[in-house]
Structure 1
Amino acid sequence: MRTLAVGDIHGGLKGLIQLLDKLHLKPDDSLIFLGDYVDGWSEAAQVIDYIIELSKTQSCVFIKGNHDVWCEQWLSTGNVNDVWYQHGGKETIESYKTFSENQRKIHLLFFEQMKLYHIDAQNRLFLHAGFTSMHGVKKESDYANFYYDRTLWEMAMAMDDSLSPASEKFPKRFKHYSEIYIGHTPTINYNIEEPINVANVWNVDTGAAFTGKLSAIDVATKEVFQSDKLTDLYPDELGRNKK
């Protein structure tokens, strides 16, 4: 049995299908999606349809990202968040034009049921962005940190490589979990196209929303699987590269 963490998809259904094909999934494999299924490429609504169907035959955990929060709010109220609209929301709204009211209700329920974080039997933590409490996610006072916070990743990137979990200087936030898997901050921001590991934190967002690839990682073996660059899969689109 494998547990595979999947990075931010951002409406790139072609990348997701290609990635899953490379995974050669077996019935007992588990997929943990780290959020941001929508906003960017033209097939956001189609991504949601696809992963809903996928979850009927494959063990899946769906973590909620900040873009998913915005989309959920729109599906629930019809109100368009201006920041969201300018950062992929426009493309997501357009992808829903052919979807019926009933289909939208099914998607809204799916968004509402997404998890803010997941902790597995090996004490590995999976969430979209980060958390700020030194006592762990269960003591977090502001749930929005789970899908917005970047300080956890910024702290990891600033750490001395020689620090071990036994060190008094090792961040207390990190010590609560054997490993932490996140998305939210594209690794291509650091000119790296694969998931980045710092301390016990793994960043699996490899920039599929922009010029990068969609990635998955086997959390046991650390084998990485990737799609082609989304710009190659959607050559007639700009995605979020126009920002």
Structure 2
Amino acid sequence: MPRLLAIGDIHGCYKALVTLETFVEITPDDTLVTLGDYVDRGPDSRRVLDWLVSKDKTHKLNPLRGNHDLMMAQARLKKDHFQRWLNFGGYEALCSYTIDNKVNADTMNLVPRSHWHFISDRVLPYYETEQYIFVHASYDADVPMSAADDYVLYWEKFSFHPRHVSGKIVVCGHTSQKSGLPIRTENAICIDTRVYDNGWLSCLDVDSKMLWQANQAGETRKFYLDDVC
């Protein structure tokens, strides 16, 4: 049976990502929604973007834009954004394209065109199905997603909002949970479980509420969302 799967913030943690892929047994028949923040902080942003570009050709991938992906794209276009991005994890992202960890503005030229296209043009602000809304950061309960402010979509922290005007449940990332467990209300689920900081990368089957997790050490675990939150 094809599944609707959401993967939380990856942050350059390629080992956790491929471990999770195997653990979940993701197939081309599954609909896959990645919630953004593919780059920064973790050691392998380049390999994560390679994985996404590849899966975009073979799977039903719906990749969302995260604030870190947005910062990387802006750093390429605006020099005054470059240093700010480096301080938010961009240094680690650019190091993944080098062999000596020496990073400057010229290092941006080492990023393949396919990666720039993916984080600048391919990513989506949100994704909707009949029952769910997927977004990187948050939502305005009274506003259709098509009219949502960029700050809300990419930067606003998870909070106890009322049900969205559409009546749909929201699945998001962005607000990292040091506990390694998702946070949940009646109206929304956040599955950013802080993989880059000795946490876990989470994948949620939104219909069954099964949650799979993997970390950078190659460890895995799974449980139903109802059993933990």
TM-score, reference length from structure 2: 0.83
**Residues 1:119 and 2:128 aligned together:** yes
Confirm or deny: 8 A CA contact 2:11 2:196 kept in the other structure.
Answer: yes
The 8 Å contact of residues 136 and 174 in structure 2, kept in 1 or not, is answered as yes
Alignment gaps of 5+ in structure 2:
100-106, 219-229
Deviation at 1:223, TM superposition (A): 0.4
* Aligned-pair Cα RMSD in Å: 2.1
Instruction: Determine which of 171, 176, 182 is the counterpart of 2:166.
Output: 176
**Structure 1 residue 95, shift from structure 2 partner:** 1.4
SS of the equivalent of 2:61 reads strand
TM-score for both structures, normalised by structure 1: 0.79
1:141-185, Cα deviation, whole Å (9 max, x unpaired): x323201012xx2224xxxxxxxxxxxxxx2x5242321000000
* Alignment correspondent of 2:159: 154
1:134 alignment partner in structure 2: 142
**Residue identity opposite 1:143 in structure 2:** D
Tell me how many residue pairs correspond in the alignment.
Answer: 209
Distance of 1:26 and 1:89 partners within structure 2: 31
> Residues 7-26 of structure 1 correspond to what in structure 2 (within 5 A)?
7-26=8-27
Tell me whether 1:84 sits opposite 2:85 in the alignment. Answer: yes
Alignment partner of 1:3 is 2:4: yes
Whether the 8 Å CA contact 1:64–1:128 is kept in 2: the answer is yes
Matches within 5 A, 1:1-243: 1-77=2-78, 80-97=81-98, 101=109, 104-112=112-120, 113-120=122-129, 122-132=130-140, 134-140=142-148, 142-150=149-157, 153-156=158-161, 171=162, 174-188=164-178, 191=179, 193-228=180-215, 230=216, 232=217
Instruction: Find the aligned partners of 1:19 and 1:29 in 2 and give their Cα distance.
Output: 14
CA distance in 2, matches of 1:178, 1:146: 16
Structure 1: tracts of 5 or more residues without a match = 157-170, 234-243
